[in-house]
Amino acid sequence: MTPTGDWYKGGDEVGAPSACGGGSALMTLPEKNLGYKPETETNRRLRWMVGGVTILTFMALLYLVELIDQLTRHSLDNNGIRLLKTDVLWGISFAPVLHANWQHLVANTIPLLVLGFLIALAGLSRFIWVTAMVWIFGGSATWLIGNMGSSFGPTDHIGVSGLIFGWLAFLLVFGLFVRRGWDIIGCMVLFAYGGVLLGVMPVLGRCGGVSWQGHLCGAISGVVAAYLLSAPERKTRALKEAGTDSPRLKT
């Protein structure tokens, strides 16, 4: 599945009468005449609406799960990620939707809404791919190193902050890969925001501290996702820099 962008190419083949009489001659067209069309206002509004609905639905799911957890006296919290425990591998799937308490979830709400919405604006396909990569690869890596540097003994990693760090890393690195002006500005804002985010990550009461392992693994997964999913943009840029994309020859 290839993520879709905000621009598309169109236009028919172009020819012109030859100065020597008969037939068509090759024409060199500047890039602005190659059929690039900006996104329509209708499509832009639809993209914003889909992005908003997507992240709000995910947020509602997290609150619903926490409500069930509270009503069942935290019976769900034991389903987090535990170091090399093969009998609880499902923790990789469940950990991001579990939280130690309401304070833990509320602390994650704003960064999740902001970062998730920014990624969802790039399209539902890209949002799903980024989330899946960070969720699975970040969770698996946390499963491998979960107790590293821990002074609390065996740990139970829960919370969506690993996914948040993955989204943050994706947005930062993806903006650098595509090298578009708006993305670079966004990177600067997100970098500053990320510094604040590091200081407000909630303390997990069940684990005795912040899951820096989950944050680290999520961030690394976000970088990998940015590299893989920026392939179309990087390829297009490489063609332009090589001079094979603009101007073009059409018959």
Q: How far apart are CA 232 and CA 248, in angstroms?
A: 19
Q: What is the per-residue pLDDT for 68?
A: 97
Q: How many residues does the chain have?
A: 251
Burial environment of residue 162 by CB neighbours within 10 A (0 to 12, 13 to 18, 19 or more): buried
Bridge partners of residue 8, in order along the sequence: 37
Mean pLDDT of 16-42: 51
The two most distant CA atoms of the chain are separated, in Å, by 87
Question: Residues 32, 24: contact at Cβ < 8 Å?
Answer: no
* CA 120 vs CA 28, 48, 51, 127, 130: distances in Å: 38, 8, 5, 5, 10
Interaxial angle between packed helices 231-241 and 212-229, expressed in degrees from 0 to 180 and rounded to the nearest 10: 50
Is the whole-model pTM more than 0.85?
Answer: no
The mean pLDDT value for 153-165 works out to 87
Q: Residue 29: pLDDT above 50?
A: no
State residue 211's pLDDT score: 83
Do residues 160 and 96 touch, judged by C-beta distance below 8 A? yes
Contacting residues for 215 by C-beta, under 8 A, at least 6 apart: 161, 162, 165, 201
* Residue 101: C-alpha distances to residues 75, 90, 147, 214 (Å): 12, 21, 22, 18
The lowest-confidence range among 72-86, 132-146, 151-165, 222-236 is 151-165
Euclidean distance between CA atoms 119 and 172, whole angstroms:
11
CA geometry: angle 159, 162, 168, nearest 5 deg = 130
- Of all residues in the chain, the percent with pLDDT exceeding 70 is 67
Residue ranges of domains in the chain: 41-243
Torsions phi, psi for 230 (to 5 deg):
-95, 5
Position 136 confidence tier, pLDDT thresholds 50, 70, 90: very high
**Which CATH number among 1.10.357.10, 3.40.50.970, 3.40.50.300, 1.20.1540.10 corresponds to the domain 41-243?**
1.20.1540.10
> Rg of the chain's alpha carbons, rounded to an integer?
23
Q: Is the pLDDT of residue 153 over 60?
A: yes
Lowest mean pLDDT among 12-16, 67-71, 210-214: 12-16
Distance of alpha carbon 6 from alpha carbon 121, whole angstroms: 10
